[in-house]
Structure 1
Amino acid sequence: MSDEGYEWSKTHSFFAKMGGFVYRGQTIDSLRFLVLVKKNEVINPFVSVQDIKDKSKSDSIGKAILTLQLLWFTLQIVVRGSRGLAITLVELDTVCMAILSLLVLFFWWDKPLRPERPLLFYSPQDVNVCPPSPSALSKAWKKPGRLDRLTDIFTCTGSEETTSMGIFDEQVRQESTRLIDKIDKHGAGIASLCATWMILGALHLIAWNFEFPTEEEKIAWRIASLVLAGGPLALFGMLVIGNRSRLDASRVERVGFEITFLASVLSVVSRVFLVALMIASLRALPCSAHQTVAWTSYIPHL
């Protein structure tokens, strides 16, 4: 959008995805917003990053503090392992979640937190018809903290044009649809989900040689971790092969759905098994699991 004279950042994209931009009573995403700007359908599109961040309930300082807390906990687990102290399965699972949270913070650093009000965009025709009804706006936003879709908030009594304006111009709709069709909406989401499950399963494989109350529990942990890590990989591979194959599209879609359902069930069952094994392991912890790290051996005079 910089070519059109508008600066568009990741913060704008996040805010649009959350329903933060409203035009004619309908939330619009970044692609539809781009179409409207190109066709000069909106008259106040200049929204800075600071305007969006002002609506956020958190800032960089809060995110930095959370990042330090997650890094500190992860560091403690790493040091425990380097000192030969036992790491419990609960601690390992928690550090796995901490690592995933750090990844989320990295990718969502520019994402606003819980904005409560959208930014309303108008067209030149809207300005000449009627202003938005304050009572309708307050009614539509009676649930703060959620950017839900707005409908029928632009009303004007005493006029023949009492319309909700919730429908885009047909030409804009067609062009927006063509832009959206160029992007695979589901591919990126499936790939992200598969990557998350794979990372989670791979991190649980760290406990491959941990001490377990019984040998059967150790084997069960290994199997569940392998399924959790390998299932999404197999799913992603099958989807890639299906997209590149010359088979009938309906058949590929049916097989893909079956594989996705099977992989999802196996992943959920594996996760449940891991949680059950974590809780069961608390009945017989190693003695070193109760010891703390002697930080003075790393940082003298601490």
Structure 2
Amino acid sequence: MNSSDPELVGWVSEPNGRGTLGLLTTCLTTIVLCTWVVIHPRVYQSESFATCHKLALLAKTLLAPEFIAVEGLQEWAQCRRMVEECSKYTNGEFKLLHAYYISMLALRYRTPEGNRVVWPNQFTWLLEQGAIDWRRDYASWGLTEKQIRDKNKSDSITKLITLFQVLWFVATCIMRAANALPLSQLESMTLSYIPLFAITYFFWWEKPKDVFAPTVVDLPPMDLEQLIKFESMALSDKFDYVNAQKTYWSIWDLTPRVLEKEEEERESRKATQQTRPGNSQQETPKSPTFGEAEIRGEEGEIKARKDIVVAHWDPYLYNSKTIRALCSLFGASFGALHLACWNTAFPTVAEKWMWRSSAFVSIFSLLAFMHFEKVVLCWNGVITIVQIGSPALYFASRLLMMGEVFVALRAVEKRVYETYDVADYGITL
């Protein structure tokens, strides 16, 4: 070791000031509280799928909080549009709370086979058609603010404790910087979560939390044509009935992608216009791509299997340069805040450069991934390598940094455990 290198220490006990156990407790408590408060899962009819969905959101929030923040933004934007569309049929009484409640699949309708989801676009259509009257039906549909808030399991005490813990943690980090005392890698990572958790919680401020039982209603009378139209607007049948869901793939998704249904309907109308007799602009049918493997029906017709959508921007957000710039800034902030311990001593030089390079890789790989409006599992040359490779690099860098924050505790710069006067009288929940 060079004489100018800082002194490194291993486990440090508590009684004489900051210790390793206190450092671990403070950081992990802050992360767990923030994660618990910020997660707002959708409603499932199956208890096992509901549990798996919540665990999947927990894993996604810890591994990639930027993705949760973007999903929160997309759901907020989608619900805002739903409020605008529904307000003219409800005399302005349809609020963001109602939009979130329906968007999280908490409204179902009875059928002989079982309960099915009322999707946001279906509810809007029912209002447009006059099939339901808001003033007359909203209470019987369980859509009064009181009814929805009664189902909300959000805990004010937990929120207050979380707020206090976060403010205390941030203040401690600022005071350490003001006193020229280094942060540990674990503190740097914990600090990185806080802005993204705050942003996500802002978007979900009105969203109900941990609603276990959906509201089940009877559909209003409709003729056959209306009923066929209504059912065709469903985004998916995977969440209908108790045993309808066969795969756990969808537990990773948070928001119903109404935008994909709208895109599908536009493509369908476009295809119908192109195939009309006398249309000179008919396109030559193309061969299925790698992600659209051929499937032959009973009569020999060729169908194309839908691609698996990995990520899809809301086009309204994607086409807004301001919002995309803000999303890029928020996305880059997570990796950038890890660099707060750039000058912190590491057990080895290799670990120091692994940490620094992983932070940069997480920043640029995420920015590359966010550049694409839609990412599907479909071979399209070099673009596909970038689309799929960038999130792979991101998660690899995140796992490396998450591992390093604990491995590095075996040899930490001694000054990490030094305290200042104010901290001696602090409280850590």
Relative to the length of structure 2, the TM-score reads 0.50
C-alpha distance 282-124 of structure 1, shift in aligned 2 (>3 A): closer
Cα distance between partner residues in 1 of 2:89 and 2:202: 29
1:50-97 Cα distance to aligned partner (Å, 9 max, x none): 321110111555434422322221221121121112210011111222
Residues 42-51 or 272-281, more deviating: 42-51
For residue 254 of structure 1, report the CA deviation from its aligned partner: 5.5
Give yes or no for the alignment of 1:186 onto 2:312.
yes
Aligned to 1:16: 102
Matches within 5 A, 1:179-218: 186-188=312-314, 197-218=331-352
Cα distance between partner residues in 1 of 2:121 and 2:264: 7
Give yes or no for the alignment of 1:122 onto 2:122.
no
Identity %, equivalent residues:
25
Structure 1 SS opposite 2:412: coil
Structure holding more strand per residue: 2
For residue 187 of structure 1, report the CA deviation from its aligned partner: 0.8
For residue 227 of structure 1, report the CA deviation from its aligned partner: 0.3
Give yes or no for the alignment of 1:45 onto 2:141.
no
Cα distance between partner residues in 1 of 2:339 and 2:242: 53
C-alpha distance 251-59 of structure 1, shift in aligned 2 (>3 A): closer
Cα distance between partner residues in 2 of 1:152 and 1:86: 53
Structure 2 SS opposite 1:41: coil
Structure 2 SS opposite 1:54: helix
Q: 2:412 aligns with which of 274, 285, 289?
A: 285
Matches within 5 A, 1:134-153: 149-151=239-241
For residue 20 of structure 1, report the CA deviation from its aligned partner: 0.6
Aligned to 2:369: 235
**How many residues of Structure 1 are paired with residues of Structure 2 in the alignment?**
248
Contact 1:70 1:102 in 2 (8 A): no
C-alpha distance 55-256 of structure 1, shift in aligned 2 (>3 A): farther
1:174-222 Cα distance to aligned partner (Å, 9 max, x none): xx9558857x981149979976653321211222222222322221111
Contact 2:172 2:423 in 1 (8 A): no
For residue 278 of structure 1, report the CA deviation from its aligned partner: 1.7
For residue 257 of structure 1, report the CA deviation from its aligned partner: 3.5
Aligned to 2:90: 5
Cα distance between partner residues in 2 of 1:81 and 1:107: 30
Gaps of 5+ in 2: 1-85, 223-237, 244-259, 267-308, 319-323
Relative to the length of structure 1, the TM-score reads 0.69
Taking only aligned residues, the RMSD between alpha carbons, in angstroms, comes to 3.8
Cα distance between partner residues in 2 of 1:179 and 1:276: 41
Matches within 5 A, 1:233-272: 233-237=367-371, 239=372, 255-272=382-399
C-alpha distance 265-195 of structure 1, shift in aligned 2 (>3 A): farther
1:243-263 Cα distance to aligned partner (Å, 9 max, x none): 9xxxxxx99955543322101
Structure holding more helix per residue: 1
